[in-house]
Amino acid sequence: MSKKPRKTGPRTTARAASRKSPIAAAKRLSASPKHDAAERIADALEAIATHLSAAAPTSGGSDAFASADAFVWHPNGKLAPVPRVSRVDLGLLKGIDRVRDILIENTERFADALPANNVLLWGARGMGKSSLVKAAHASINVDRKPAERLKLIEIHREDIESLPVLMDLLRSSDFHFIVFCDDLSFDGNDASYKSLKAVLEGGIEGRPENVILYATSNRRHLLPREMIENERSTAINPGEAVEEKVSLSDRFGLWLGFHRCSQDEYLAMVKGYCSHFGIKLGEDELEREALEWSTTRGSRSGRVAWQFTQELAGRMGVRIKS
C-alpha cells in the first residue's frame, strides 16, 4: 500500500523559512488562520532564538575569538570579525606624545592581567583619538603569542544598550578585550547611558576582569547639562546627586585630553606622512601647500594633515595604503 504524500502545512513551511529569516517566519505565522496566538508566539520566538544562537560565538570558548584580533559587535548577538583593521602606524601620530605614552602603558598593563583603568579620550576633532586606540592595540600585540593577544571589539554608539549582553559573552573567555566606542555622547532623553554606567561602575556583576572600556568623545562631559539637571531633580538630596563636573565621564579612570595642534605640529604631521609614503616635494613648497590647504579647511589637525597627504599623493601619482 503506497504511502500518502506528506502534507506541507503552514507550520512546516514557516519553520523552513525561519532558518533563513526569523522576521519573515514571524510574519508568515501571524498570517496563518490555523495558528492560535500561543503557537504563533512560540514559533516566532523559536525562530529568533535559532537565528541568534547560530550568529553568536560560543560564550567562554577561546576558539571563537582566535580567528581575528578585532571584531564589531552587533546588537543581535553577533560578533563580526575584522580581518584588517583600518589604522595608521603609531609612529605617524604626532603632537600627542604624552597621551600616547599613558594609553600604551595602561593598555600594556591590562594585557598583562594587571590593574588598569577605563579610558575616555576627549577633545578636538581629528586629533587622532580613535587612531591612537587602534594603533595602541596593534603595538601591544606585536610580540605576543596568539593565545596572549589582546582583542579589540568596537561597539557603535547606538548599540550601547546591548553592552551588558556583550559583557556576559566575554566574561568567561580566556582572552582580554578592549571594548571601544567611538564618538560617544548622549543627548535629549536618551536613557541608554544607564547601561554604560552599570558596566563602568555600580552594577551587581561589575565589569569583567578581562574587559576594559575605551571611548572617544569631542566633549569632556558625556551628558549634556539638561540631562544632569534631570538626574539631580529626581534625587532625594539634589545637592549630592550628580555634580556637573563628575557626571558619567567621571566613571572613566583616565581622561586623556586632545587639543588643537600648532602650526609646527601640523607641518610635522604632513612631513611624517610624506616621508612614510615616499611622497617627494621640496620642503618650502610642501609647507606652503600644506598651510594653504589648512586655511581652506579652517582648521589644523591630524585629520586635515592626512587629507592633504591623500590629495598630494593622488596629484603626484603615488599610491598609499591607510
pLDDT of residue 15: 46
120's enclosing H/E stretch is strand 119-123
Residues of the chain with pLDDT under 70: 1-63, 186-195, 197-199, 201-205, 219-249, 322
All residues at 6 or more sequence positions from 254 whose CB lies less than 8 Å from its CB, including other chains: 102, 103, 106, 117, 118, 119, 120
pLDDT at 240: 46
Q: Are strands 70-74 and 78-81 parallel, antiparallel or unpaired?
A: antiparallel
Distance CA 252, CA 247 (A): 10
The reported pLDDT for the residue numbered 220 is 66
3-state secondary structure of 215: strand
- Which pLDDT belongs to residue 50? 47
**255: helix, strand or coil:** strand
- Please tell me the pTM assigned to this model: 0.71
Give me the pLDDT at residue 136, please. 95
pLDDT at residue 193 in the model: 64
pLDDT at 207: 80
Max Cα separation, the chain?
96
pLDDT number for residue 322 = 59
Q: Which of 29, 50, 27 is nearest to 40 (CA)?
A: 29
Which stretches of 132-247 are assigned E, i.e. beta strand?
Answer: 151-154, 177-181, 211-217
Q: What's the pLDDT tens digit per position in 106-120?
A: 999 999 999 999 999
CB atoms inside a 10 Å sphere around CB 36:
9
